[in-house]
Amino acid sequence: MTSIIKILQSFLFPPASPSQPGSPLITNQITYRCDTVSSATHTLPNGRRLGYAQYGLLTGKPIFYMHGLPGSRMEAAIFDDTAKEVGARIIAMERPGCGLSDPDPGWTIRGLPRDVDSLAASLGVSEFGALGLSGGGPAVLACASYFPKERLKCASLVSALGPPDIGYSGVPWLQRLGLAIGYPYFPGLTAWWFKQQPTGRLDSSEEDRLALLVKLCKENTKHPKDLPIFLNERFSKLQIVSAQAAFAQGVHHAVHDGTLSCTPWGFKIEDIREDLPVQIWCGTDDVSVPFNHGVQMKNKLKGKDVVLMVREGETHTSMEVNFMKEYLEGIVKYL
């Protein structure tokens, strides 16, 4: 019981770290391409700005990337080198209130594809694939329900969150509590919790947040597949930079994203067109999104080209990082 309490305390009440405003920003040190040249905004027909970034080959096969939860366009920087290798153009779009995207109190999961449609038109992209990692799953499934076969050629879901009616059994109780109750019913408490985490302590310097993140990862990360990733300096720095963009306009926007993802979406994935190739990548040791979400999405989707890619012993993050080339190639082959 004592060990459980210590773990909870470390996550809910991380030790304070003094801010050092004069310390160099890690944004300038990061080796991933998190520069302003990669980022831009697109003005939607209603006047709202949409933030996005592009990685990989600008002449490559276009893949719209839907970020995690919380997340931002910056997290897609991790794809840059691999996307170039496989000939992909990653277009990472931010949801309302995240990063450079203007807030929209009335936005819905079901309505997101209209933003994708407008951005695609502005970039001269007529057909594309869609990729969602973790909390990006709902946005990809919304695109799958919206775009015809002439536009959306393939959808890929990696460690992805599925419809809320599947339930959240199979993950630790604290994670299950956040998905089933925190996001839908206690957004204020969820926002407070985000602010206690290393990535959400925007009152501290980037260097201090990074140090605290690494410290907690060393203390609490037990899975052998996760440790090398979380303790990789490039990956940790990218987490800090991406979260800073995600929370730039207020943590409550990211929480609202979660609320919409964990409540009914306004469409059923059973109705997604049957001619759409869908690849679902799942690790059996995922404790962030239930492994059952991948299994149930495979069962609900009626297409003949829906494939469940199960990897034994892999985690939420190891699936996303270590199988990057495979799932990017899996999309590119349809484009």
Q: Categorize the per-residue pLDDT at 35 as very low, low, confident or very high, splitting at 50, 70 and 90.
A: low
> To 10 degrees, the CA torsion angle through 325, 36, 69, 304?
-40
In 3D space, the residue among 318, 328, 327, 316 whose CA is nearest the CA of residue 161 turns out to be 316
For residue 224, which amino acid is it?
P
pLDDT band at 217 (very low <50, low <70, confident <90, very high): confident
Q: Are 75 and 100 in contact (CB under 8 A)?
A: no
Is a pLDDT exceeding 50 seen at residue 257?
yes
- Does position 190 have pLDDT exceeding 60, yes or no? yes
Q: Which CATH number fits domain 33-332: 3.40.50.1820, 3.30.1330.40, 3.40.50.300, 3.40.50.261?
A: 3.40.50.1820
Cα 15 to the chain's mean position, in Å?
Answer: 26
Decide if pLDDT at 29 tops 60.
no
Question: Which residues are bridge partners to 254 per DSSP?
Answer: none
The mean pLDDT of 182-195, rounded to a whole number, is: 94
Predicted local confidence at residue 159, as pLDDT: 97
Return the pLDDT at 11.
36
Q: What is the pLDDT of residue 33?
A: 58
CA 260 to centroid of chain Cα atoms: 14
> Chain-centre distance of CA 304, in angstroms?
27
Residue 9 has pLDDT above 70, yes or no: no
Report pLDDT for 212. Answer: 87
Determine the Cα–Cα distance for residues 297 and 299; give it in Å rounded to an integer.
5
What are the sequence ranges of the domains in the chain? 33-332
- Residue 3: pLDDT above 70? no
Predicted pLDDT of residue 141:
99
The mean-pLDDT minimum among 13-27, 101-115, 223-237 falls in 13-27
Per-residue pLDDT at 164: 95
CA atoms lying within 13 Å on the CB side of residue 253: 23
State yes or no: pLDDT of 5 exceeds 70. no
Residue 302 has pLDDT above 50, yes or no: yes
Q: Report the percentage of the chain scoring pLDDT > 70.
A: 89
Residues 6+ apart with CB under 8 A from 204: 17, 18, 19, 212
Q: How much is the pLDDT for 32? A: 56
Which residue in this structure is represented by tokens 């893949």? 63
pTM of the complete model: 0.88
Pairing of strands 128-133, 61-66: parallel
Q: Measuring CA to CA, which residue among 131, 162, 160, 118 is closest to residue 267?
A: 162
* Among 154, 22, 44, CA closest to 95: 44
pLDDT value of position 34: 57
Q: Report pLDDT for 293.
A: 96
pLDDT, greater one: 16 or 259: 259
246 in Cβ contact with 71 (< 8 Å): yes
Distance CA 146, CA 160 (A): 19
Which of 37-41, 168-172, 235-239, 301-305 is the least confident region?
37-41
Question: Vertex 229, ends 5 and 246: CA angle to 5°?
Answer: 75
How high is the pLDDT of residue 271?
96
SS3 helix, strand, coil % of the chain, rounded to 5?
45, 15, 40
Top pLDDT among 25 and 244 is at 244
What distance in Å separates the CA atoms of residue 26 and residue 49, rounded to the nearest whole number? 27
The tens digit of pLDDT for each residue in 43-76 reads 999 999 999 999 999 999 999 999 999 999 999 9
Which of 16-30, 40-54, 125-139 bottoms out in mean pLDDT, i.e. has the lowest?
16-30
Average pLDDT, the chain: 89
pLDDT tens, position by position, 230-246:
889 899 899 999 999 99
What pairs with residue 56 in β-bridges? 89
